[in-house]
Structure 1
């Protein structure tokens, strides 16, 4: 399928945000959903995510807040719907558009790099730990992704899934993926094999020192 032009995609964005707004505000949909227990749980979770997103989009410390405020004022569309519309637009572009790999890697690198620099310059330690954990997980995933070319051939949605995964790694709060993966997988494995890893590193250091000593 040929990739959509950027102009047509941008023109489609207001329609997309309008559809999302209608779905959010449709009371009939909400009443039908509330008649089923599972749907009530899903609706409650969805509402909680929406509220957290709304708080984040009004946080003046975030780089996107002023941009969304301007877009909200000029378009008359709630910034939550604008943000969701942009997210859906990026998702569709990652499936059908060009430069999917570049866009995905930019999402996974640009904002984390920005907030990591701010964390280094801040006095608190909590944000340092959070983003250091993110980069540990990001580095391990990058090594695993060596096989990405093979995966993409069989799984066209790979870049979309990876982008969602990267966003999960960086979201704030209890749902932060990097902290979850670190505590449940990386940390237990590291503590179990820490002595062996240190031994291997020391052997490599000794071998390297001997090589340089012979050259001298």
Structure 2
């Protein structure tokens, strides 16, 4: 059975990245040299084991959310330290989409009970969102979130302003009460 060209291209891209210079690829090169197993096969084996764990593992939710947080957080810190705007935009967009997904997920916890491969699919979706080669977060943001925010921006701004005013008034009242009690 022939391999579809999209899958062949994806595997070739992963294999090419696994041969670029870097700390992880250096470790993989050492393991490959000592075992004789290609680094692509090592990575695919680990990914397969992780996929099985995300379906059957007891802490699958934690592992999934860890995957969606650690690398993006590290890259966000690097983006803050860099002098270019593009990486800032990429990671800020990721965090906006991640936050919307997290809030939506809170209200749909029953999905996990019915859909046992949820954490695997969420992990794959998070990878899609944050891998630079996919531009997934930007695509989701521009396709779904930006139109909603643009349509309702005035109303959102007004409500945020109202809430900020109420919080400010409550804080001022609280401070005044504290001052009065001291005197």
So what's the TM-score if we normalise by structure 1?
Answer: 0.75
What secondary structure does 2:146 align onto?
Answer: helix
Equivalent-residue separation in structure 1 for 2:62 and 2:172 (angstroms): 44
Map of 1:64 onto structure 2? 24
Map of 2:162 onto structure 1? 203
Which of these residues, 10, 23, 28, is aligned with residue 49 of structure 1? Answer: 10
Map of 2:180 onto structure 1? none
**2:86 matched to 1:129?**
no
Q: Please state how far the C-alpha of 1:148 moved relative to its aligned partner.
A: 4.6
Structure 2 unaligned runs (5+)? 177-183
Structure 1 unaligned runs (5+)? 1-28, 34-41
Which of these residues, 30, 50, 59, is aligned with residue 99 of structure 1? Answer: 59
Query: Alignment RMSD, CA only?
Result: 1.7
Q: Please state how far the C-alpha of 1:56 moved relative to its aligned partner.
A: 2.2
Question: Which of structure 1's runs of 4+ aligned residues deviate more than 6 A?
Answer: none
Which of these residues, 26, 29, 40, is aligned with residue 80 of structure 1? Answer: 40
Which of these residues, 181, 189, 203, is aligned with residue 140 of structure 2? Answer: 181
So what's the TM-score if we normalise by structure 2?
Answer: 0.88
Q: Please state how far the C-alpha of 1:147 moved relative to its aligned partner.
A: 3.2
